[in-house]
Amino acid sequence: MPTVLVTGATSGLGRYVAFELVRSGHLVLAHGRDPARTEQLVTELRAEGEAEGFVADLASLARVRELGDRVARAHPELSVLVNNAGIGAGPPGAGREVSADGHELRLAVNYLAPVALTRALLPVLRANAPARIVNVGSAGQEPVDFDDPELTRDYGGFAAYCRSKFALAAHTFSLAEELAGTGVAVNVLHPATFMNTGMVREAGVQPWNTVADGAPGVLALATKDLGTGHYFDGTTPARAHEQTYDEKTRERLTALTEGLLGG
């Protein structure tokens, strides 16, 4: 069975997905930010199957790249990457936060981190084709303001979250074109609306769904050949924000991303 890296595996959707994958015979590389929680998760996963833990703070691009290097060295057989880790809108009325690199925090964790991690792991994934990249996005998408991409003016947590998920969807489509013919599929999905997770509760939202409702879409993209360059609502093919398909918007996003990642 394939080796799968799941980011943000210590809680919520990532934790549920990690257990489902382990139980189906996959070797799960479980990423977490907190060493103790990651160690505890791996102990629990190993009661069901094969698992290994990797600790990294995705709010630091240096730590993200180190994570990619560690995984690539330890598991050159890796063939599935699930970019699940993310942060929500934050508590109502919360102010703007920045990452270790000084970037707006939601953009950094929800967008720059998965882009940087994917880049670090692409040589391994390409070597193990057919391979899959699953980007856990959201139906909450709002076009990036290229005049103020880091929301230094009129900051709002929900807007920051939606813009980061817009960027992730648009990037997914660009990456799929870049990887065409390599055997590496990349897709993005909205797993379920307002799942019962810490980020939803923190935002003061009453959950509508459980993480079990959101898992089937992630698991399908991680384990089945469903094409590449697509957006799914759960397990159903759907359309992302129309502007994510716009070539000029995606070109501007690519240029912005290169600058924010340092080339």
Active site residues per annotation: 161
- Residue 147 CB contacts under 8 Å (≥ 6 apart), including other chains: none
- Total residues belonging to the chain: 263
**Phi and psi of 81, rounded to 5°?**
-120, 125
For residue 250, give both structure tokens.
Answer: 């995606």
Task: Please answer whether residues 108 and 99 qualify as being in contact, where contact means their C-beta atoms are separated by less than 8 angstroms.
Answer: yes
Nearest to 132 by CA among 78, 212, 72, 69: 78
**Taking the CA atoms of the chain, what radius of gyration do you get in angstroms?**
17
**Phi and psi of 53, rounded to 5°?**
-100, 150
Measured CA to CA, the distance from residue 64 to residue 103 in angstroms comes to 14
66 alpha carbon, distance to own chain's centre: 17
Rounded-to-5 percentages of helix, strand, coil across the chain: 45, 15, 40
Indicate the DSSP class of residue 180: T
Measured CA to CA, the distance from residue 11 to residue 37 in angstroms comes to 9
For residue 220, give both structure tokens.
Answer: 């399908």
In DSSP notation, 17-68 reads HHHHHHHTTPEEEEEESSHHHHHHHHHHHHTTS-EEEEE--TT-HHHHHHHH
